[in-house]
Structure 1
Amino acid sequence: MTGVPMGAELNPGPSEFAELTTAFGELAGLIVPPGGTLTPSRLVNAAQRAAPNVEGAALTVLPPRSRPRSIAATGALPRRADELQYSIGEGPCLDAAEGDDLVRVDDLAADPRWPAFATAVVAELGVRSIISVRLRLESDLRAALNLYATVPGALTDVDRVNAAIFGSFVALALDAERAREEASNLQLALQTNRQIGIAIGILMGRDLITAEHAFRELREVSQATNRKLRDVAREVIETGELPHAPDQRPG
């Protein structure tokens, strides 16, 4: 079997869809408590609670030029199952994150796609059924939501629908976190530039030097003391004096 496009061959019956709808209705108030924030971790936990056959859920992320890692997991089983895939270099969560929309495993012991991973995870954890769904993100980060069970054939078409729906929400939460992080970094950069500008002004006025000369002094002290430039600038603002390295003395 290969990766299955999301939405293909989904045939849950009306009663199963009704149960799924009820589950999502009950979970709506649990995922985000009053005043809370929709986070990937809460959604991963909710994805497991929404499907009684799922014994563990985890979230794989593949940063550019970096090793894959799990940023959320509902317990030791899904976290270890993820880690085995990372260390061995194969598995459904990696296939899903790297391109397949949805990867479903009905019995890992009889599936030939990942022989090394299958042998290891069945022997160590008893995992037999897996669903991994790719998250569609705005950033260059790649990710997959992974559902695990120890019973062969335990994860049904309803679980596939559940994984696809929760995967969409997890993707939104990851994009939101990235946007908040970028906004925070921008605010920090603006604050740092403002502090450096004030410190340069203080040194210019005190020593009657140019802005270029003042900035060079700040940078030299930063390098000599192994401190961040913004920290040196903050000390200049607070004391009116340029810090000196331990082996330096004021002229």
Structure 2
Amino acid sequence: MSEAEFEAELVDKMQDALLNSDDLQDFLDQLAEHAAAAIDDRGEVACSVLLLRGPRDRTVSPGHSPTSWVEYQPKYDDGPGLSALRTGAAVLVYDVGKEKRWNDLMAEAASAGIDSVLALPLRVDDGGLGAVLSYYQRRGHGFSEALLAAASTYARIAAKPLLLAERIDRLARRAAHLAAALESRTTINLAAGIVMGQNSCSQLQAMEILRRASNSRNVKLRDVAQGIVEPLAGATTRFDE
């Protein structure tokens, strides 16, 4: 397969992953699985995807690889993946047993049966967003020049689809938050209307009653409102008769 054909196949698979994934996590799972299969069809290479939206906001996907291979890295504050993100350059550990950096992490990798690690940053160019592909081999010096080249090509092509998937997810989460806020406001307004009817007071006075109840009970305002609205939700009024 020529390099152009290889790249075209990768683009096609990533487009399919975008179209077929249920959410960002599902897309990352597919990305990790494809990333490993794209550079090695013998099952000797595993891959994980680490997505950072902030210092402590980390999304990890081990793909369909054995978790003992690929879930050891994200719990540490440094390592090949985070180093690759910080420097913007690939990090290759030929032999974890001889690596002098990240001693605890390398010891855990070795105990998980990992001998070689390759971390490649994805150039997403979106402020605080960062992403890295980490490849794992069960044998030392397991990344040949051909595998390195294939992995670098995959990381380059995967950057834009991953950025698109993250932005879609961001918009979906924002829409969900707005819907939740609207629902909460509707419930509060309904509760205020009930309080107005029960106490023959204005809307401002009803809202003040709800706020006092919220503060005295140390309960969120929407929860106080929900407690007022729910018992009446199934009640029959004369308008229903």
Smaller-chain TM-score bracket: 0.7 to 0.9
User: Structure 1 204/138 Cα, relative in aligned 2: closer, same or farther at 3 Å?
Assistant: farther
Q: TM-score scaled by structure 1?
A: 0.70
Q: Residue 20 of structure 1 aligns with which residue?
A: 6
Taking the aligned partners of 2:21 and 2:80, their CA distance within structure 1 comes to: 36
User: Structure 1 33/142 Cα, relative in aligned 2: closer, same or farther at 3 Å?
Assistant: closer
1:61 aligned onto 2:47: no
1:163 aligned onto 2:155: yes
Which 5+ residue runs of structure 1 have no aligned equivalent?
A: 1-14, 242-251
Deviation at 1:136, TM superposition (A): 2.2
8 Å contact from structure 2 (residues 195, 206) kept in 1: yes
Which 5+ residue runs of structure 2 have no aligned equivalent?
A: 234-241
Taking the aligned partners of 1:49 and 1:18, their CA distance within structure 2 comes to: 18
Taking the aligned partners of 1:108 and 1:172, their CA distance within structure 2 comes to: 35
Taking the aligned partners of 1:201 and 1:140, their CA distance within structure 2 comes to: 44
- 1:158-193 Cα deviation digits (max 9, x unpaired): 211112222332232122212210111011112211
Q: TM-score scaled by structure 2?
A: 0.73
Deviation at 1:135, TM superposition (A): 5.2
- 1:95-142 Cα deviation digits (max 9, x unpaired): 123x32232315134554444433442343233131332452646343
Taking the aligned partners of 1:138 and 1:25, their CA distance within structure 2 comes to: 21
Taking the aligned partners of 1:141 and 1:195, their CA distance within structure 2 comes to: 35
| RMSD (Å) for aligned C-alpha atoms | 3.4
8 Å contact from structure 1 (residues 138, 175) kept in 2: no
Taking the aligned partners of 1:108 and 1:73, their CA distance within structure 2 comes to: 23
1:41 aligned onto 2:14: no
Match of 2:40, as an amino acid?
P
Taking the aligned partners of 2:15 and 2:116, their CA distance within structure 1 comes to: 32
8 Å contact from structure 2 (residues 187, 226) kept in 1: yes
Deviation at 1:63, TM superposition (A): 4.7
Match of 1:81, as an amino acid?
Y
Residues paired across the two proteins, number: 223
Q: Residue 52 of structure 1 aligns with which residue?
A: 40
8 Å contact from structure 2 (residues 28, 63) kept in 1: no
Match of 1:79 among 70, 74, 77: 70
User: Structure 1 73/179 Cα, relative in aligned 2: closer, same or farther at 3 Å?
Assistant: same
Q: Residue 193 of structure 2 aligns with which residue?
A: 201
Taking the aligned partners of 2:92 and 2:137, their CA distance within structure 1 comes to: 10
1:125 aligned onto 2:113: yes
Deviation at 1:71, TM superposition (A): 4.3
Deviation at 1:218, TM superposition (A): 2.3
Match of 2:208 among 203, 216, 229: 216
1:108 aligned onto 2:92: no
Identity among equivalent positions (%) equals: 20
Taking the aligned partners of 1:126 and 1:238, their CA distance within structure 2 comes to: 55
Match of 2:178, as an amino acid?
L
Q: Residue 144 of structure 1 aligns with which residue?
A: 132
Match of 1:91, as an amino acid?
G
Deviation at 1:82, TM superposition (A): 1.9
